[in-house]
Amino acid sequence: MSRYAATLAVIHLDRTSSTPLYLQLYENIRRAVSTGQLAIGTRLPSTRDLATSLGVSRNTVTSAFDQLLAEGYIEGKVGAGTYVAEVDVIPNQQPGLLSSHATASPCTLSQRGQTMLSLRDTIFRYRHDPIRAFRPGVPALDAFPVEVWSRLMTQHWRYAQPDLLSYGDPCGYRPLRECIAEYLQLSRAIRCHPDQVIVVSGSQQALDITARVLLDPGDAAWMEDPGYIGARNVFLGAEINLIPVPVDAQGLNVEVGKFKYPHAKLAYVTPSHQFPLGYTMSLARRLELLEWAYQVGAWIVEDDYDSEYRYQNQPLAALQGLDDSGRVIYMGTFSKVLFPSLRLGYLVVPPGLVDAFAAARAVCDRHSPLFEQAVLTDFIREGHFSRHLRRMRMLYAERQATLVSAAHKLSPYLNVQACEAGMHLIGWLPPEVDDRSLSQDLAQQGITAPALSTYRLEPSPCAGLVLGYAAINSETIQSAVKQMASTLPGAIHQSLKASTKEIAYFSTPNVLRSAS
């Protein structure tokens, strides 16, 4: 037997893997040393001999040995070769468990870490999926003016200013904050000064900072039900006690919220275009919500995620513009109006909260990338932003009309009605249909149509599918609807088989249309 048989036995190289061979070799030896498979003092082959035995280049072996030497797993003895160094063996450790892809056991996590881990299925739902029908929440990336953006970015890099290469203000690039404040004052009737605007890395960070600053673990917060999963995950991750409050045609039902938990610390709402149902909160409900917040000292988070997209009238005035007591934290994002990977959004906070939010923003990651903020500033100032919005309103109106027209062939299995705003529609299913199972069946057919029940905290007999149309062209919409027409009947009949319900044409559920 070769004197180096023990070393060769622990090395297994996968030449089909995307992981470089030197990293595989390093990991094999490191793991064998850590687990005691290669005993302390074991002499290793020379780099030349090992390279010959494994059929790899000598540089591959040298690179792996250099890393092992640097980390102390092996040591060289002048004139005597290379040996396994004195490394503490991890007890009860089986080979393979120290892989770079290993996952920590839940018992090693903090309580908050375990909560985060439990949310992974919803957090990473679409991370590898292509943008296909009918994925919600994604704008028309095929219609974004890439050439304009590229030109502005090139100009900034060509004439790069030192202040864009250094650290910036945690609240954001000042010219951008001025543009945002001016835009919100004109388009959304927001009452704010640029000092109140804080640029963040999208709506998720806006929510995370808000939870850090305003809530403690165990505090109660009203949550629209159904509602935005991203907000739900942030609050659950912060160990907030979520109070599901139903939504009807007038928006969040404030009376129910006060009955269930009158002294909640915060209410999360999407008043301009409720997500996902699409309703607009009535003026009476807005005033009732503001009065409640004032009386109990609660905060209101107004998520204005897609208010730019109204197809019949001008965008509605924001709830924040009605607030005379400084209880509303307003948030918006450029992910829905430009492109998601930009990772830029903003908060408008009451003057008394600016310092606390700025400090929390600095703790998170100092500030958002300055070059992207500078490019966005020019994009707005030169009029490209407003032109892009006008084009997208027309395009999305056309795509929505295509979906509604094509979806007629899905009745009586799916009822899709037009909406005057937004980037998605609800496809209502017959009562008691298992919309999650149906959504999974469609996913296997290459169609993304999230189940309405996944957005709920409490069960409801109202079943449906969330159908995003903004990101896909008319041809794809029609093709996907045709494919659904061949899938839905069998899947729905199977779901209703146990209850022997008959399928008839139906309207939007009364429980949602009524203002209870």
Chain segment 118-133, per-residue pLDDT in tens: 777 666 655 556 788 8
Distance in angstroms (rounded) separating the CA atoms of residues 375 and 357: 24
Place of tokens 């409490």: 458
β partners of residue 243: 222
* Residue in the structure block whose two tokens are 């835009």: 183
Q: Under CATH, to which class is 5-84 assigned?
A: mainly alpha
pLDDT at residue 344, as a whole number: 95
Buried-state track 336-375, b at ≥16 Cβ within 10 A, e below 16: bbbbeebbbbbbbbbeebbeebbebbeeeeebbbbbbbbb
Residue 500 identity: T
pLDDT, averaged across the chain: 87
Q: Which amino acid is at 398?
A: E
Please answer whether residues 337 and 308 qualify as being in contact, where contact means their C-beta atoms are separated by less than 8 angstroms: yes
Domain boundaries, the chain: 5-84, 144-385, 387-513
For the CA atoms of the chain, what is the radius of gyration? 28
- Percent of the chain whose pLDDT exceeds 90: 55
For 387-513, CATH gives 3.90.1150.10
Three-state DSSP at 248 gives strand
Confidence band (pLDDT; 50, 70, 90) for 15? confident
| Mean pLDDT of the region 194-211 | 95
Q: Are 5-84 and 387-513 the same fold in CATH?
A: no
Least confident piece of the model among 2-16, 40-54, 491-505: 491-505
What letter represents residue 328's amino acid? Answer: V
- Burial of 120 from C-beta contacts in 10 A (0-12 / 13-18 / 19+): exposed
List, in sequence order, the alpha helices (H) in 79-201.
111-118, 120-123, 146-158, 162-165, 174-187
Q: What is the CATH number of domain 144-385?
A: 3.40.640.10
Q: Is the pLDDT of residue 297 over 90?
A: yes
Can you tell me the distance from the alpha carbon of 491 to that of 220, in angstroms, rounded to the nearest whole number?
39
DSSP letters of 40-109? TTPEEPPHHHHHHHHTS-HHHHHHHHHHHHHHTSEEEETTTEEEE---PPPTTPPTTTT-TT----GGGS
pLDDT top residue among 488 and 358: 358
What is residue 510's predicted lDDT score, i.e. its pLDDT? 42
Q: How far apart are CA 65 and CA 26, in angstroms?
A: 7
Which pLDDT tens digit goes with each residue over 389-419? 999 999 999 999 999 999 998 988 899 999 9
Number of H helices, E strands in the chain: 19, 14
Tell me the pTM.
0.77
